[in-house]
Amino acid sequence: MDQIIMLDINFQYQNETRTIHPVLLLSANDVVLVDCGYPGFLPLIEEEMKSKGIDPGSLTKVLITHHDDDHMGALFEIKEKYPEIKVVAGHAESGYISGRNNRCVCYRRKKC
């Protein structure tokens, strides 16, 4: 990777400002987002990318490290808006991403 950029995603939770830090990996051929935050965070991610001078439409991949809500919660909305983006994850995460495992924030938004 040619560049690593940490994003600062600020949000309110229980009357406190909290921050998560998804990471962008930039190379000549790829813009990879490592983890994507909670459901509803796509606008926050896009805004932060733009503030760093990176077009959100240039994303090529989302790498999911594990299936917690704060790591893959916004994946559905990312794939909905940017269907060409590839999702990279370990085998253990595939059931949560595909929706085969019953989980509230799964990729396909199955009912719990």
User: What span, in angstroms and rounded, lies between the C-alpha atoms of 45 and 39?
Assistant: 11
User: What span, in angstroms and rounded, lies between the C-alpha atoms of 102 and 92?
Assistant: 14
User: pLDDT 10s per residue in the chain (112 long)?
Assistant: 699 999 999 999 999 999 999 999 999 999 999 999 999 999 999 999 999 999 999 999 999 998 877 888 899 999 999 999 999 988 878 777 777 776 544 444 544 3
Beta carbons of 5 and 54 less than 8 angstroms apart? yes
Query: What domain range includes position 86?
Result: 3-98
* pTM given for the model: 0.83
Q: Is residue 78 part of a domain?
A: yes
The domain spanning residue 22 has which CATH number? 3.60.15.10
Q: For the chain, what is the domain count?
A: 1
Q: Is residue 106 part of a domain?
A: no
